[in-house]
Structure 1
Amino acid sequence: MKILFIGDIVGSPGRKAVANLLPYLTEKAGGFDAVIVNGENAAGGKGLTQSVLDEILDWGTDIITTGNHVWDNRDIFRFIDTEPNLVRPANFPKGTPGRGWLVATAASGTRIGVMNIAGQLYMDSYENPFHTFDAIFPQIQARTRFILLDFHAEATAEKIAMGWYVDGKVSAIVGTHTHVQTADEQILPQGTAYITDVGMTGPHDSVIGMKKEEVIERFRTMLPRRYQVAGGNIILCGVILELDDESGKALSIQRVRLPMSDVVKAQ
C-alpha cells in the first residue's frame, strides 16, 4: 500500500499547491492507494469551511485530519458530524462534535484506519494522548492492519515519546502542527514509520505561513496583531509511505518538499 500524507495546508496558497502538485506527485509515484491531508489551516489560515473541504476532496484526497485550530471557523459545526472523511483530535472531551478516528476504504479496496490525536505540552488542555491512543487502538486494530496516526503536537520530545509508544502497533505516526518539516524520517525497530513533523504546505516566504512583517512586529512590540496568510515561495511538504500488504508494517518513508515553481517551470 502506498500513502501520501500532505502536511498542514495553509490558506489559499496551500490549497493552490495541492491542486497543482497532487496530479504531478500521483503520476510520478505511479498512483497512491490513499491521500491524506491535514486541513486545519486551509480556510484563510485558520479552520475549515464546507466549501474549502469540498474543494480539497475534489482534488482526489481521501481523508482530512485537523488539530487545535479545528474550531477556528464556526462553519465547521454545520458539517463535522456528517462529513465521513473528516477527523478532529480524539482527545477532546466526551460529547465534542465530530470524531477522532475512522476506517476508510482505500483505492485498492483495502481498509485504512486514521486516528487524529493532539499533544498536551504547550497546547490546550486535551485529555492524555497516550490514554486516548490506548482506548482507540483496539477498535481500529479489529478492522484493519493499516493504521496511520496524525499526532498534532508542539513538543518534539512528546512526539518522539509517542513514536516509541506506538512502534509496532501502527503503520505510521506523522507529526503535524509546527509547520516546520524535520529530517528525522525513519522506520522504528518494530516496523512503524515515523517523522517528527511533515511540515507545511503553503507560503514559505513567511513565518509558518503568516506574513512575516506582521509576526516580526508582534515580537518586537509585544502588541497583538491580526495575522494574514502570506503568499510567496509556495511549497508542498509531506511524506510518501509504503506499507507491506501482508503485515501493514512500513517498508519506507520518503520526505516530500516540492516547490510549486519547480513543477510550473517544468511544465
Structure 2
Amino acid sequence: MRILFLGDVVGRAGRDALTARLPGLRALLRADLVVVNGENASHGFGLAPDMARAFLAAGADVLTLGNHAWDRKEIIPYIAEERRLIRPMNYPPGTPGQGATVVEVPGGRRALVIQVMTRLFMELLDDPFRAAQAELARHTMGPAGSVQAIIVDIHGEATAEKQAFAHSFDGKVSLVAGTHTHVPTADHQVLADGTAFVTDAGMCGDYDSVIGMSKGGASLRFWRKVPSEKLAPAEGEATLCGVFVETDDATGLATRCDPVRVGGRLSQILPAA
C-alpha cells in the first residue's frame, strides 16, 4: 500500500496549498491512502466543516485533529456524522466523534487509521499507550487480517513520548507519524521490526513564521509576559510537509519511509514514485 501522510494544515496558506497541490501529488505518488491532520486549518485553531469537505474533495481519505479539535464548535455535529474525520481516541468516554476509522482503499484492501494524543506538556487525557493497545487488539494486519495497513497519528509535544510510543508498537502498525510541533524532523525511518516512523511530519503552512503564525505577534509573546495581539497565521506560500510510506500487503509492514516537502521556503523533497 502506498500511503501519503501530511502534517498539520495551518491557516489559509496551508488550506490553499493543500487543496491546490494534493490532487496532483496524490496522482504523482500513486498514493492508495492519504491522511491529513487538519486541526489548525481555521485561522490556526480548529477545523470547520466546510474546510474538512474541501480537503476530502481534494483527495484526503482521512482527516485527523488534536488539541484544537473543539475550537470550532460547529465541528461537533459534523464529526458525529463524518467517519473520515477522527480525533484523539484517548479523550474521555462520551467525547463526540471517534478515535479510529477503517477505510477502503483500491484493490479491495482496508486500512485502519488511529489518532492518539500524548500527555507530556499537553492535556491530561487517558493513557495513549493503553488506548492504542486496546484498539489494536481488535485488528490484525496482512492478507488474512481485518486490515492491510494501520496508520497512527500521535499528536504531541514531547519527542521522547512519541519515540517511546513508536518503539512500543514497532511491528504492530505500518506507520507512526507525529504531529503538533509543526517542524519536520529528520528521523524518518523504518524501525527494526518494520514500522515506519517520523517524530513530527511538520506542517502544511508558511514557514516564514513562528510555527505557522505571523512572526511579529508570536515573537512579542516571548519578549513581553503580558497579553499581546491575537495570533494570526502567516499568509505566505506554504510548504506541504509529511512522509510517503510504502507497505507490504502480505505483512502490513513498511518497506520505505521518505520525507515529503513541496512548495514554499523549505528545501524540496519529492519521493521517487
TM superposition score category, shorter chain reference? over 0.9
Q: What per-residue deviation string (whole Å, max 9, x for no partner) do you get for residues 118-171 of structure 1?
A: 000000011111111111111233621410000001001001100110000001
Counterpart residue identity of residue 169, structure 1:
K
Structure 1 counterpart of 2:173: 170
Q: What per-residue deviation string (whole Å, max 9, x for no partner) do you get for residues 43-63 of structure 1?
A: 121111111111111101110
Which stretch has the larger CA shift, 154-163 or 253-262? 253-262
| Number of residues of Structure 1 aligned to a counterpart in Structure 2 | 262
Is 1:205 the counterpart of 2:208 in the alignment? yes
Structure 1 counterpart of 2:251: 247
State the secondary structure of the residue aligned to 1:124.
Answer: coil
Report if aligned partners of 2:120, 2:158 keep a CA contact under 8 Å in 1. yes
Q: What are the within-5 Å matches in structure 2 for residues 174-193 of structure 1?
A: 174-193=177-196
Counterpart residue identity of residue 157, structure 2:
E
Say what the alpha-carbon RMSD is for the aligned residues.
1.5
Which stretch has the larger CA shift, 141-150 or 36-45? 141-150
Counterpart residue identity of residue 149, structure 2:
F
Structure 2 counterpart of 1:257: 261
Q: In the TM superposition, what is the alpha-carbon distance from 1:80 to its structure 2 partner?
A: 1.1
Structure 1 counterpart of 2:225: 222
Q: What per-residue deviation string (whole Å, max 9, x for no partner) do you get for residues 90-143 of structure 1?
A: 000011110000111013321000000000000001111111111111123362
How far apart, CA to CA, are the structure 2 residues paired with 1:145 and 1:128? 26
Query: Percent of aligned positions with the same letter in both sequences?
Result: 43
Structure 2 counterpart of 1:231: 235
Q: In the TM superposition, what is the alpha-carbon distance from 1:221 to its structure 2 partner?
A: 0.7
TM-score (norm 2): 0.92
How far apart, CA to CA, are the structure 1 residues paired with 2:49 and 2:148? 31
How far apart, CA to CA, are the structure 2 residues paired with 1:90 and 1:121? 16
Counterpart residue identity of residue 244, structure 1:
D
Q: In the TM superposition, what is the alpha-carbon distance from 1:215 to its structure 2 partner?
A: 0.7
How far apart, CA to CA, are the structure 1 residues paired with 2:24 and 2:244? 14
Counterpart residue identity of residue 46, structure 2:
G
How far apart, CA to CA, are the structure 1 residues paired with 2:115 and 2:154? 6
Structure 2 counterpart of 1:6: 6
Q: What per-residue deviation string (whole Å, max 9, x for no partner) do you get for residues 22-42 of structure 1?
A: 13322332x111111001111
Counterpart residue identity of residue 73, structure 1:
R
Report if aligned partners of 1:17, 1:260 keep a CA contact under 8 Å in 2. no
| Structure 1 outlier segments of 4+, above 4 Å | 260-263
TM-score (norm 1): 0.95
How far apart, CA to CA, are the structure 2 residues paired with 1:232 and 1:149? 30
Report if aligned partners of 2:26, 2:59 keep a CA contact under 8 Å in 1. no
Report if aligned partners of 2:206, 2:264 keep a CA contact under 8 Å in 1. no
Q: What per-residue deviation string (whole Å, max 9, x for no partner) do you get for residues 191-219 of structure 1?
A: 00010000000111110011110011111
Structure 2 counterpart of 1:157: 160
What stretches of structure 2 of length at least 5 have no aligned partner?
A: 269-273
State the secondary structure of the residue aligned to 2:239.
Answer: strand
